[in-house]
Amino acid sequence: MKFTFVSLLILGFSLFGFSQEAPKDSLTYLNEVIIFNPIKTKKVLGIIPSSIIREKAFQNHSPIDLASSINQVSGIYLLSGALNTNRITIRGVGARTPFGTDKLRLYFMDIPVTNGTGFSTIEAYDLEDLGAIEVIKGPKGTPYGTNLGGAILLETKQDDKNKGTVLSNNFTLGSYGMLKDNLSFKHNEEKLNLELRYNHLDTDGYRDNSNFERDGILLTSAFQLSPKSQLKILANYIDYTAQIPSSLGITAFTENPRQAAANWQAAQGFESNKYSLFGISFSNKISSKLENTTSVFYTYLDHYEARPFNILDEFTNGYGLRTQFLGRFQFNKREGSYVFGGEFYKDVYNWKTFENLYEENNGNGSLQGAEISDNKELRRQLNAFALITMPFTDRFKLQLGLNLNKTLYDFRDNFNLGSENKSAERNFDLLFLPSLDLLYDLGKGNSLYGNISKGFSNPSLEETLTPDGLINPEIVQEKGVNYEVGGKFFLLNSRLWLNIAFFRMNIDDLLVAQRVGEDQFIGQNAGSTRHQGIEIDANYTFRISQKVNLIPFASYTLSDHTFVEFIDGDNDYSGNPLTGVPKNRLNMGLRLELFEYFYWNTTYQYVDGIPLTDANTLYSEPYNLLNTRMGYKKAISDHLSFSIDFGINNIFNINYAQSVLINANSFGGAEPRYYYPGNDRNYYSSLGLTYAF
């Protein structure tokens, strides 16, 4: 099924062709049901545009389907090979990363949780613990690192208004033996807000060798120390074990997508993770026009992964500090604002690899053999930032920003001796990354904005190595300049919310990961890319009656990303579409709300074919996906309420690739394994109980 850009626009906006008189509280109501809240954003961002997925939008999908929830936003695409195998790309940045998510910054409650080389693991967090996901696309988020991909800010569920104590539990059963439970205790009083949550997930998975089991505990608390100061404490512990089915070749993907890759099945490959995050934040109103928030944090990851080619045993200790000052001043007889601060992060990564003797283990899977490497990496990164917002008129604002980044890698080889030892340091140049934002307020919630910003991406330490494992001093950071214009509008008596953005980003010193072994990649700066496109998000509210609402919503992404210059050996890929990115993506949905008790959501997703090789000789198949979910919530008494939900994913039971591996090589004469199958038709149902004391 093919789409043109014009037909997509017609299809999307045909949903919004009716106009009715808006009630007086239409804007308030719209904020509650809108997928991408255009009004409330973090104060530290100033006038930087972002997209916010609110808790109600999570109801469109299963409570374990993080990918579908995030993919409701234009410009961001999460490719999910399994619950523990995810790769997030924003505007095409990160699409060429073989495994995992890099080239963006991930924050949890304003604490950075991206490691020292730029990798983030969003799958470690329970979707039911989150109240919002805010996405900053591109390097314009000066206070959050100016990475080329942007930043993702995770926020927990927070209730500062309702006082008292509440105990709630949501229990979910689903296909593939899925069992999930989320239990929360909340206590809120005048000077104390405390929440403790426990979550458990266990599923056999759609494919062979894909069992996933996770337990997590999350504590958030806020203490009002005085009218001017507040102390917040965050503790998050996650323990999960996940089997790994890996990717499939086209024959296996077509004939039996449930199977695991043969070598991963034989090795019974898996990963085990224990992750801890502790943070303390202190906020203080220094004066009526200046406030400060300072956070200190510590992270620990213990990771063990059995792969067919070796066994990886690693642990990482990370710690850091983030401080930011927010102030106000008079400018041109109007109130301006400024933000400045810094973020320091250091982690110590210890890792060893061992032989995997699974072929000698009588069919019992992985067996740890002799040690084959022992390494330590010390990784330090410093970000300093400043923003100043100046209102030139009542409607026009200008914002200037500057981010400074300094990155250092220190690699220590504890295995090889003498001339074979590969210890080395890599000290990258200090980067100055400016940004300029313009905002024109059209009134009634409508605005136009523009942005020019410069960003960067660090290579991983592995990408800085030569094929012999030595530091390659020629590798440099990717750098790019982003140009963006757009607008946010409330139309048709404030019933239609529309966000549209046009962007272009030119990236130089493109980092290319070349595969030189089954699990060995090296990097090179191989050229430049041009990322450009159009992003549209829309939401309309039909108030059919006082108690009946119909809310269609849609998002569309046009990604026209190309290699401007890319020469790899004797191959010239200049002018080819960027590998790993679908040109067109469309998400549409319809939400029905009845009497404040019942809702019914149906969502549709179209993903265009993805180029799988740099030569563009192979594409994945486009696919169309339809999901539905309905729920009922009712108060039994003044203290007790219950909810029940039921959903179906992949209603038409299509075979599709939910994630792909680009430039896959074949080993031992086998087919190259490009495809991660998505789940077939599956079901889930949840029962929730809430008791307010």
Mean pLDDT of 477-495: 92
Give the CA distances from residue 43 to residues 60, 346, 626, in Å, rounded to whole numbers and listed in that order.
Answer: 28, 26, 37
- For 72-88, the pLDDT digits (tens) are 999 999 999 999 889 99
Instruction: Please check whether residue 411 lies inside any domain of the structure.
Output: no
**CATH number where 664 lies:** 2.40.170.20
Asked whether 609 and 623 are in contact (CB, 8 A), the reply is no
Backbone dihedral angles phi then psi of residue 281, each to the nearest 5 degrees: -125, 135
Higher pLDDT, 34 or 103: 103
The percentage of residues in the chain with a pLDDT greater than 90, rounded to a whole number, is 69
pLDDT at 519 over 60: no
- For 114-127, the pLDDT digits (tens) are 988 788 888 888 99
The percentage of residues in the chain with a pLDDT greater than 70, rounded to a whole number, is 90
pLDDT at 658 over 90: yes
Would you call 102 helix, strand, or coil by DSSP? coil
Mean pLDDT of 264-269: 96
- For 339-371, the pLDDT digits (tens) are 999 999 999 999 999 999 999 999 999 999 999
Rounded distance, CA 512 to CA 648, Å? 39
Q: Quick one: pLDDT band at residue 96, thresholds 50, 70, 90? A: confident
Higher pLDDT, 9 or 326: 326
Instruction: Please check whether residue 213 lies inside any domain of the structure.
Output: yes
Q: Quick one: pLDDT band at residue 571, thresholds 50, 70, 90? A: confident
Instruction: Please check whether residue 31 lies inside any domain of the structure.
Output: yes
Q: pTM for this one? A: 0.90
The pLDDT score that the predictor gives to residue 444 is 87
Rounded distance, CA 16 to CA 10, Å? 10
User: What range does the domain containing 132 cover?
Assistant: 5-406+424-692
Instruction: Please check whether residue 387 lies inside any domain of the structure.
Output: yes
Give percent helix, percent strand, percent coil of the chain, each to the nearest 5: 10, 60, 35
pLDDT at 264 over 90: yes
The pLDDT score that the predictor gives to residue 526 is 72
Rounded distance, CA 573 to CA 265, Å? 35
Instruction: Please check whether residue 130 lies inside any domain of the structure.
Output: yes
The pLDDT score that the predictor gives to residue 578 is 93
Q: Name the least confident of 37-46, 396-405, 555-564.
A: 37-46
| Region of residue 575 (phi > 0: left; psi between -120 and 50: alpha; otherwise: beta) | left
The pLDDT score that the predictor gives to residue 467 is 52
pLDDT at 676 over 70: yes
Instruction: Please check whether residue 656 lies inside any domain of the structure.
Output: yes
pLDDT at 21 over 50: no
Please count the CA atoms within 13 angstroms of the CA of 606 that sit on its side-chain side. 19
Rounded distance, CA 638 to CA 642, Å? 12
Q: Name the least confident of 259-263, 272-276, 313-317, 426-430.
A: 426-430
The pLDDT score that the predictor gives to residue 2 is 46
Burial class (CB in 10 A: 0-12, 13-18, 19+), 662: buried
- Strands in 7-129 per DSSP E: 51-54, 76-82, 85-90, 105-108, 111-112
The pLDDT score that the predictor gives to residue 435 is 97
Q: Quick one: pLDDT band at residue 335, thresholds 50, 70, 90? A: very high
The pLDDT score that the predictor gives to residue 527 is 82
Mean pLDDT of 10-28: 35
The pLDDT score that the predictor gives to residue 420 is 84
Q: Name the least confident of 197-211, 459-473, 597-611.
A: 459-473
Mean pLDDT of 311-335: 94
- For 35-49, the pLDDT digits (tens) are 444 445 678 888 998
Would you call 79 helix, strand, or coil by DSSP? strand
Q: What single-letter amino acid sits at 480?
A: G
Higher pLDDT, 53 or 268: 268
How does the average pLDDT of the chain come out, rounded? Answer: 88
Q: Which residue has the tokens 């300049």?
A: 481
- Long-range contacts formed by 25-31: CB under 8 A, 24+ apart: 26/493, 26/494, 26/495, 26/541, 26/543, 27/445, 27/490, 27/494, 29/541, 29/543, 30/490, 30/494, 30/495, 30/497, 30/539, 30/541
Mean pLDDT of 230-237: 95
pLDDT at 228 over 50: yes
- For 139-185, the pLDDT digits (tens) are 999 999 899 999 999 998 876 667 899 999 999 999 999 999 999 99
Please state the domain count of the chain.
1
The pLDDT score that the predictor gives to residue 202 is 96
Mean pLDDT of 664-668: 77
Instruction: Please check whether residue 415 lies inside any domain of the structure.
Output: no
Q: What single-letter amino acid sits at 560?
A: D
Higher pLDDT, 294 or 5: 294
pLDDT at 20 over 60: no
Instruction: Please check whether residue 414 lies inside any domain of the structure.
Output: no
pLDDT at 89 over 50: yes
Q: Quick one: pLDDT band at residue 555, thresholds 50, 70, 90? A: very high
pLDDT at 12 over 50: no
Mean pLDDT of 303-307: 96
Mean pLDDT of 5-22: 37
